[in-house]
Structure 1
Amino acid sequence: MFLGFCTCLDTISITQPIRDSPDGDGDVLVSNGETFALGFFSPGKSNYRYVGIWYHKIPEKMVVWVANRDNPINDTSGFLSIDTQGNLVLFDNNDQTVPVWSTNSSALSTNGYSVAQLVDSGNLVLFQNESKKPLWQSFDYPTDTMLPNMKIRLDRRTGINKFLTSWKSEDDPSEGNYTYRIDPAGYPQLMLYKGQVPWWRTGHWNGIRFNGGPVFRLEPITNNTFVSNDNEISSMSSIYNISILSRIVVDESGLVQRFILLDQERGWTQFSSMPAETCDQYGYCGAFGLCDYKNTSEFECTCLPGFEPKSYSEWKFRDATHGCVRKPGSLICSEGEGFVKLENVIVPDTSKVVGNSDLSLEACEKECLRSCNCTAYASANISEGGSGCIKWHESLMDTRIFAGRGQDFYIRVDERELAQYAKKSKGFVATKRFRAIMVVSGLLILFSIGVFAYCATDNFSATNMLGKGGFGSVYKGQLVNGQEIAVKRLSKHSGQGMQEFKNEVMVIAKLQHRNLVRLLGCCIHKEEKMLIYEYLPNKSLDQFIFDATRRADLDWSKRFEIISGIARGILYLHQDSRLKIIHRDLKASNVLLDASMNTKFQILAWLRYLRRPNSSKNKQNSCGYMSPEYAMHGLYSTKSDVFSFGVLLLEIISSRKSTECINGSHFPNLIGHVWELWNDGKVLDIVDPLCQSFSTDEVSRGIHIGLLCVQEAATERPTMSDVIFMLANETTLPLPNTPAFTSHYADSSKSSGAISWNRVSITALEGR
């Protein structure tokens, strides 16, 4: 028999409920070891009330489980109790006829003597009071968080699938868009879905870990197990030291994150966050594609041996949606064929593979060769030196390379491809070793950057200054190993605090794209804050296109590559990066060129504009590039970047500055002049006379796209994905409307309406 109610107790009974209160500080259950608490709460800015479990001694209320996530209570009248049937039930005090939420267990005590207890693992257990037989537990009904000893589980006998589902938002714990669950098909794996679409996968269990999951260097702390038998498929993580807290969360943005808390002062440490880069996105390189985010070539995607891009034009613009196909003339299932071995591979989606745990790897190869439909094979269990066999008979989807995380993978090729690969196989292994050396060297460089920042730049000598702006100065430097770097020494009067600086570094470090300037490291010493970037010897684009001599080095092919590179980089910021970024300072001086004249641009200015979006200084620095809604009202969106891109595109084609007054023009800027020529059917007159070997069709299309980007209304401008498609394909383009900053200067004698594209269609193939 229970004594009088005390909020420090860890049990609920039929005579001892817990109640919410008007002040929001209702009754709270606390587990015996005071690790977890259960009670009523309101998430974020919401006024709705929910019953949840959170960490008891952590100041921030970190909720790990919610009972009534899809059925909130409108006020603070709720109470949680045991009913006469022995179920744990949640009632709204205003209506006690139908429970808001219930355990609804069918194996309950008939005499009503059930008790619910919050145990120190974070599990809420309903059991018979006398026999202590468990009847129901919250661990079987996870929400968005997986705690140690909790299972993500599929019951093979009943088909019941227990999985994690994200919150809808930080203010709404109802079921969101992302689920993290077991896919039992083929060789089972854990899958993250966005709705019904695969978003990221762990890969199959290879005897040590999930083949495509993050590598945890926490062996003394955690133990991950996977079970697949006739009864169940389950995944579980446990902690050896119970004083250490651990949780895996599927957040509302679609990330599977793992956190460890070693002590209160250090706070939570994030050990993984997946998907972490572009190659983690399911099927990023399409069928038969191979993704390697460390690939130093133009694109992370390549095709598997024996395959080629299905659409070269799409791959040119970093779009591998349609994947790869067998090379023409490939003779599969013929004499002399064999397998190419790829190392450190996260093997393709295993949902449609055929497996045999008893076969050796050698026997697996022979089995695959016997079937003409078998495209690849791999070991099922790498913990025992490569035992078991898994074979693919259909498309190979979501294949990735990542050193230290993958395994050997064997792809079927014909005799010709096998012979070609044999010639370069030694080089392939050498390349892998070289990359490993570079990774280690990179870590050493990052470690030493802060120490050598001053002597690397000759104590910030004026002779080494590359440029100066309102946010600080940039100096050329050289590390002790000879590597040239660019050091951004931030102004002490920039108004940026230490936390803002750290935030900016974290943002930039998470952005990985070949058209973005690479951040090598940072340095913080007292009031000094520095960012260390890769050095780009050709400096900025404005020093080429606005220079009477140097711009002659940019023929149309190179200018088109620069335009395409800028477009790809902006699209990455808008759509493909983990963080959606609006650049807001895109201009010729912020577009840099490496030694091979490849485009790279900076995003350093991004955070400072959050604080001063409409300052006169910013307007002056970006005069001619700012969209009207941003310049006049401080309103910005991705369409603001599209406007800046359109201005930059016209500058690259014409080699004229956007604010330049052109003799004979009725407009005081480049946009107005181009619009005037467009109306007169003479738009090619704007092309730089020093631009050699250009295609009139391509240049005309480029100018047309530029005018679409600088239209007055933001809603009428294309997206960056539209821009890239229009640049790559000869499709019919919509007519542009009046550009921004031209209406006040229009000559009343000229038509201000849109002129047909046919008036500037030119069929001549020669350049001027």
Structure 2
Amino acid sequence: MDAGNNLLLYFLLLLVIRPCFCIDSLTQSQPLKDGDFLISQGEVFQLGFFSRGKSGNRYVGVWYYKLSEKTVVWVANRDHPLTNTSGVLSVDTTGQLALSYSGTPQVLIWSSDILSTGGGNYSAKILDTGNFVLFKDQYSEKNTVWQGFDHPTDTFLPYMKLQWNKRTRENKFLTSWKSPENPASGQYSFRFNVTGSVPQLYIYDGVTPVLRAGPWNGITFSGLPEYTVSPVNDVTNLFYIDNNEEVATYYIVNTPGLFTRFVLNDEGFTERLNWNPESQKWDAFWTGPDGQCDKYAHCGAFSNCNPVKLSDQGCECLPGYQDRSGGKSPTNIFGGCVRKPGALVCNNGEGFKEVPGVKVPDATKARWQSDLGIKACKEFCLKDCSCSACMTVNITSGKGCLTWYADLIDVREFSQGGQVLYLRVDSSELAKDRTKRVLLKVLLPVLVTIILIIVLISRLLLKKKKIRAKNKNRELSHGSENSDISFMERYQDALAANDTEVHCFSANTIIAATENFSISKKLGEGGFGPVYKGQLHGGQDIAVKRLSITSTQGIEEFRNEIILIAKLQHRNLVRLLGYCIQQEKMLIYEYLPNRGLDHFIFAKKSVLNWRTRFDIATGIARGMIYLHHDSRLRIIHRDLKASNVLLDASMNPKISDFGMARIFGSDQNEETTKRVVGTYGYMSPEYAMEGLFSIKSDVFSYGVLLLEIISGRKNTSSFDAENSINLIGHVWDRWLQGKPLEIVDASLGESYDVSEVSRCIHIGLLCVQESAAIRPTMSEVASMLCNERTPSSAPEQPAFINRATVNFGSVKSCSSSGIAATKTNSVTVSIVEGR
């Protein structure tokens, strides 16, 4: 009886559950029903029915078969969704691909819409490229009668073409989804514009240009020097075609197993993405538009957008031109430039001035002359008084000359790459350049000789000064318990060897500046000793960090701080003015009147509105990018926290306290130490537990600091009532509950940008993820902060959020100033023995 019941149950299950349809082709006799799939021969792509969001609409699409994240790359019926699961995709008797509801009669929803090519056997096949092809009789390229790659949606895949067909005038281009949950055709497109003499790629919002990738320059599209498919040049190749049949671009992948794609999203941004098998997510290594200078015609006519320039939205006039408004724009919006009054550029001795490293101006109305070098190109331009600029560009047909006769639009400057624009200017502009060249030719040799003599004399004087200072230090330190001659000799030699430019102050100078370390001059006390305000004889205000006798900052830390800060120059790093090693060790910094960030976010909260907090957070990020990537040295700070960020008179943040920083080689990623130093609450798990530190350790500390800036609470604050061990756990709980804004500092009220604060919370949680590998770099953090979009990846569980998991082993908490230091700044220097 039991056996009979089991058999009956088995047959019932067969009736209810349809078997999976897992081949790569459709035939006229075998359609594809909702719930069945086609899988490409190499198991790279899958085709089937899918839904997005809560609407329940069904679409036929293609996605990657084996990736953990379902990434749809093509949709057949994006603008004609099915409303239930009764859809059937078939190859009909006329050789058309047809999507319809099942039943009698069948209701057609979508078709391939091609002209019948006569009798024969038709089939459809999903390929390992992601292309879905309809073919006659036997599959081959010549037998293909229709293919999905000719009808792209929002994704540009390897081997797919973006194309303008010169014969049929058909344009194959990307169109964004309406939203992440709606694949219908959106408002943005990425396509060729062939109205000018040279084709150009654009992103459009409807018919309005958003970004211009420009014409092909022989290597890539001239407006995007970084427009490559992969950061490794031999992994992929980008191609461009311009012949009698078509204008097209496509790329191929040379490395098996690499998944890469180009996407135009629903907000009008394009991204190049690579699948990261370790983190199981898509990594973006290029995004556009990237900053205001990427936006089409951001600065108007005859202007150049310089992304480094902070004023006037990065805009500046090209040589020979001036601000159209005369600097008096009522809206403070840069409106472009016009030729300077009185300029004579028509048969009056005019010529050309080089503007190097720029994007090719919009070539829609430019003229193209093939096989002209730059000399012939200039001569051709000078023959026409309306020609304002020229340039040589390499395209597929060879090197040629572009000349402009209308406004120069959409010029921007690149830090690397770009081309030389030859701008037509009058004789007076040329005379300025000639004068500069003559002066350089005559004066440069003289100046070099004078500088060499000054350097030689300076070295001799410096050597004598060091000898006198060394002798004086021996006298001052004689009999002192805290300093000895061998220490000072060894230290001054080390500083000289590192060619530091800081000044060695005498003890008497510092004593006079601080009124003998008067209590009224005391600014505070940190882990390494008290800090005093002082004033030098010339009136310059200084801050003196006086290392206490019991300070944990030894010779190496003191040496680090001097050598590191003396070599680092950045607006978001504190400036070291000098040091003193007579009788005791002291560091002399620039004085910052607003003290530490911790004073404002934990005590005087109402002083900082959201805009100031956001600017402070971005300033700290810029300083950390400089330390990690842009300075001559690669620096890991190892003790980034609120009290080590000082604020100047304008509330600009400056990172300080480099006593525990480490120098990395340019090719070095991480290091292990047995002496773990830092501050509880800011140390990353891999550093606290294993002594392993890298730039990602600083990213963790930055994430904690960012959450403190938003919430106005310390990470070490008690959240016992909410069962959270610290601020990170508190934020994570609110994030999982969908209520992240509950952590925002109550003193802000409702005077903040909700989307901006939400994005900052998201970024903070990405920074404090337990795995260092999936934390963003500081460059990526800065990009996310300044990019008005939600970060693409969701944060994973942070470190140190559960009481059961927080175990630092044997931790020795040391403070050079004892209880007083802890009460003043709530700072503890922790030393953990790494495993």
* TM-score grouping bracket, smaller chain normalisation: 0.5 to 0.7
TM-score by length of 2: 0.55
Match of 2:496 in 1: none
- The answer to whether structure 1 residue 38 and structure 2 residue 165 are counterparts is no
Runs of 5+ unmatched residues, structure 2? 1-17, 442-523, 533-542, 544-560, 575-594, 603-609, 629-633, 654-706, 711-730, 758-835
RMSD: 4.4
Match of 1:402 in 2: 414
Match of 1:538 in 2: 649
Tell me the CA shift for residue 64 of structure 1: 0.2
Give 2:401's match in structure 1, choosing from 384, 389, 395: 389
**Whole-Å separation in 2 of the counterparts to 1:426 and 1:194:** 50
Q: 1:175 to 1:214 in 2, by over 3 A?
A: farther
**Structure 1 range deviating more: 508-517 or 272-281:** 508-517
Q: 1:313 to 1:415 in 2, by over 3 A?
A: closer
Tell me the CA shift for residue 242 of structure 1: 3.2
**Whole-Å separation in 2 of the counterparts to 1:16 and 1:264:** 39
Q: Secondary structure at the match of 2:745?
A: helix
Q: 1:123 is matched by which residue type in structure 2? A: N
**Whole-Å separation in 1 of the counterparts to 2:91 and 2:614:** 52
Q: Secondary structure at the match of 2:371?
A: strand
Tell me the CA shift for residue 185 of structure 1: 2.2
Deviation digits for residues 723-754 of structure 1, max 9, x if unmatched?
Answer: xxxxxxxxxxxxxxxxxxxxxxxxxxxxxxxx
Tell me the CA shift for residue 380 of structure 1: 1.6
Tell me the CA shift for residue 383 of structure 1: 9.9
Match of 1:57 in 2: 66
Tell me the CA shift for residue 636 of structure 1: 5.5
Q: 1:618 is matched by which residue type in structure 2? A: D
| Alignment check: 8 A CA contact 2:324 2:336 kept | yes
Q: 1:512 to 1:525 in 2, by over 3 A?
A: closer
Match of 2:471 in 1: none
| Alignment check: 8 A CA contact 2:299 2:315 kept | yes
Q: 1:281 to 1:95 in 2, by over 3 A?
A: farther
Match of 1:200 in 2: 211
Tell me the CA shift for residue 46 of structure 1: 3.5
Where do 1:96-135 residues align within 5 Å?
A: 96-111=105-120, 113-130=121-138, 132=140, 133-135=143-145
Where do 1:340-355 residues align within 5 Å?
A: 340-355=353-368
Q: 1:261 to 1:96 in 2, by over 3 A?
A: farther
Q: Secondary structure at the match of 1:419?
A: helix
| Alignment check: 8 A CA contact 1:486 1:533 kept | no
Q: Secondary structure at the match of 1:227?
A: strand
- The answer to whether structure 1 residue 170 and structure 2 residue 255 are counterparts is no
Match of 2:199 in 1: 188
Among the aligned pairs, what percent are the same residue? 36
**Whole-Å separation in 2 of the counterparts to 1:514 and 1:254:** 29
Where do 1:705-744 residues align within 5 Å?
A: none
Q: 2:160 is matched by which residue type in structure 1? A: M
Match of 2:224 in 1: 213
Where do 1:512-551 residues align within 5 Å?
A: 520=626, 530=641, 537-540=648-651
| Alignment check: 8 A CA contact 2:164 2:246 kept | yes
- The answer to whether structure 1 residue 420 and structure 2 residue 547 are counterparts is no
Match of 1:85 in 2: 94
- The answer to whether structure 1 residue 269 and structure 2 residue 283 are counterparts is yes
Q: 2:651 is matched by which residue type in structure 1? A: S
Deviation digits for residues 545-571 of structure 1, max 9, x if unmatched?
Answer: xxxxxxxxxxxxxxxxxxxxxxxxxxx
**Whole-Å separation in 2 of the counterparts to 1:254 and 1:102:** 28
Q: 1:171 to 1:372 in 2, by over 3 A?
A: same
Q: 1:425 to 1:135 in 2, by over 3 A?
A: farther
Tell me the CA shift for residue 241 of structure 1: 1.8
Give 2:165's match in structure 1, choosing from 152, 155, 158: 155
Match of 1:242 in 2: 256
Q: 1:32 to 1:354 in 2, by over 3 A?
A: same
Deviation digits for residues 704-724 of structure 1, max 9, x if unmatched?
Answer: xxxxxxxxxxxxxxxxxxxxx
**Whole-Å separation in 1 of the counterparts to 2:76 and 2:616:** 35
Match of 2:302 in 1: 288
**Whole-Å separation in 2 of the counterparts to 1:106 and 1:534:** 70
Q: 1:349 to 1:14 in 2, by over 3 A?
A: same
User: Which entry has the higher C-alpha Rg, 1 or 2?
Assistant: 2
Q: Secondary structure at the match of 2:108?
A: coil
Q: Secondary structure at the match of 1:416?
A: helix
Give 1:74's match in structure 2, choosing from 83, 102, 117: 83
Q: 1:29 to 1:612 in 2, by over 3 A?
A: closer
| Alignment check: 8 A CA contact 2:174 2:191 kept | yes
Where do 1:449-488 residues align within 5 Å?
A: 461=528, 463=530, 479-483=564-568, 485=572
**Whole-Å separation in 2 of the counterparts to 1:337 and 1:527:** 58
TM-score by length of 1: 0.59
Match of 2:273 in 1: 259
Q: 1:530 to 1:135 in 2, by over 3 A?
A: farther
**Whole-Å separation in 1 of the counterparts to 2:422 and 2:619:** 29
Q: 1:213 is matched by which residue type in structure 2? A: L
Q: 1:287 to 1:538 in 2, by over 3 A?
A: same
Pairs aligned (count): 511
| Alignment check: 8 A CA contact 1:109 1:128 kept | no
| Alignment check: 8 A CA contact 1:309 1:315 kept | no
Q: 1:107 to 1:221 in 2, by over 3 A?
A: farther
Deviation digits for residues 187-218 of structure 1, max 9, x if unmatched?
Answer: 11110001110000111101111111142343
